[in-house]
Structure 1
Amino acid sequence: MPEPNGVALVTGASTGIGRHLAEGLARRGMAVAGLARGEDRLRTEMDVIADSTGARTLAVAADVTDREAVEDAVGRVLGEFGRIDLLVNNAGQMDAEEVPVWQADPDEWWAVVTSHIRGGLLPARAVVPGMVERGSGRVVDLASGLSTRGGRLYSAYSVGKTGLMRLTEVLAAGLEGTGVHVFDLAPGVVRTSMSTSMSLHENRTEWTDPEQVVAFVAAIAAGELDQWSGRFLHAGMDELDRLRTTQPDATQRQLRLQPYADGDPAAG
């Protein structure tokens, strides 16, 4: 079997966008480790991907909010492949009920927030040191349009995604000069069981092609968008060719307060 074009670890890989990413990266020659909570389904999907693409795959079952489980899973991936070049933090939950925040069950609400923030922190904490040691690597945190704004519904998901977006920025800042880069990538609205369950999309007729999301992640993995490290990208809106040739300035595509007037001391 030929040497893989890098090794990717994708969380939430057994369904939805994570499943699309695992297969799409495998088709581009990467070895892919998929991580998810349900071992049987994950193993089946990773075997299907291996059979259809010829790529090396590995199924590692773990809850991304469980520190020991994540560390063990990353250890298995490193034992199998020797390195991880790309981490995609895709796993995360959605609010079970579409209600205002004060009506939400606080335990369920917090579990959703935790799935995105702790579920992004723990894999990064386990993977990034090896990337720093090698002097190269990329982390992609799956963001959302709801990362950048708040609304009446999906409050836990919005808070979780916004927190993950800030985690991306601070992680990228800490990694400056190491050769390791971190990105927020909103996939657009891909047709999945999660997106179709949301009232927000009940009348939607146009969906983001999952291949667009794969193309963005593949471009990031290839180092084509490193100047955007620590920033928000949107697969459903941005044009890859334009991003490749654009150098962002200052705090563009990062979360900041907007000024109420010239000279607003709290803006920026």
Structure 2
Amino acid sequence: MPELTGVALVTGASTGIGRHLVEGLAARGMAVAGLARGEERLRAAMAEVADATGARTLAVTADVTDRASVEAAVGEVREQLGPVDLLVNNAGLIDEAEVPLWEADPDQWWDVVTSHLRGGFLLSRAVVPWMLLRNRGRVVNVASGMSTRANPDYSAYSVAKTGLMRLTESLATALEGSDVRAFDVAPGVVDTPMTRSMHMWQGFTDWTPPEQVVEIIAAIAAGELDPWSGRFMRAGKDDLDTLRAVNPEGTARQLRLRPYGDGDPLG
């Protein structure tokens, strides 16, 4: 297990994948700030991690879709722990009704999109300038298989995760020439309360071990996967040693149109 240093900020930290990431990064030596909306559960989770790992932790209550809340939270992390070296944008909602978009509640549908996209945007906007000042930092946006293909029952989640991939690529392109980089990491199908609530995973047993998600993100934090900046990786499918050895070129692992044939003018 590689030793890490610096400060990590993980959103959606009180449960599920975020909770696993907080503990895994803390166990590797990082000081970890966890951000979530529910103060009581978040504080309990961060205290448990501190007790288990001996690491410095900080519970920061904030709504990722609220600009003032995000900016205050990032300022608190900087004051209490120091500048953020690793930002993991993990927070986000899922379609509650699991129905085609014309049957979806418009407000809940838009809340799902906002939680991922506005959340990822606001956190990156608040953290990345400080990374650039130090010319050091990594941003991870938690992607999904639905980033690359639509699901009719989860249209909001599909739209949100696809948009987040575009945000990652835009950010990575803007950061070229610096030692600040951005990545998409899909966690696979981790056994969490969210995945358990989705009918598409009912009866599913081939769960992705959360430690595999932690390992990829820890490798990113260590600077081992820098050639993958702006690209998509998937825990549970991608072999970490292979990722370390491969230097992807062109538009590999990025969202692009596929030409319909040799005569496609957009090919």
What's the TM-score, normalizing by structure 2?
Answer: 0.98
Q: Secondary structure in 2 aligned to 1:133?
A: helix
Question: SS of the residue aligned with 1:35?
Answer: strand
Any residues of structure 2 matched to 1:153-168 within 5 Å, and which?
153-168=153-168
Unaligned 5+ runs, structure 2: none
1:111 counterpart SS class: helix
For 1:1-150, list aligned pairs within 5 A: 5-150=5-150
SS of the equivalent of 1:173 reads helix
Percent identity, aligned pairs only, is 67
Residue in structure 2 matched with residue 262 of structure 1 by the alignment: 262
- Partner in structure 2 of residue 220 of structure 1: 220
Residues 112-158 of structure 1: CA distance to partner in whole angstroms, max 9, x if unpaired? 00000001000000000010010110000000000000121100000
Q: Name the CA distance, whole Å, in 2 between partners of 1:236 and 1:149.
A: 18
Could you report, residue by residue, the CA deviation over 1:88-135 in whole angstroms, capped at 9, with x for unpaired residues?
Answer: 000000001010011101111000000000010000000000100101
1:241 maps to: 241
Q: 2-side partners of 1:265 and 1:116: how far apart?
A: 34
Match of 1:108, as an amino acid?
Q
Q: Distance in 1 between matches of 2:67 and 2:266?
A: 37
CA shift at 1:214, angstroms? 0.4
Distance 2:41 2:122 in 1: 23
Q: 1:213: Cα distance to partner? A: 0.3
Query: CA separation in 1, counterparts of 2:188 and 2:265?
Result: 34
Give the length in aligned residue pairs. 264
The residue identity in structure 2 corresponding to 1:198 is M
Large movers: runs of 4+ above 3 Å: none
- 1:126 maps to a residue whose letter is A
TM-score under structure 1 length normalisation: 0.97
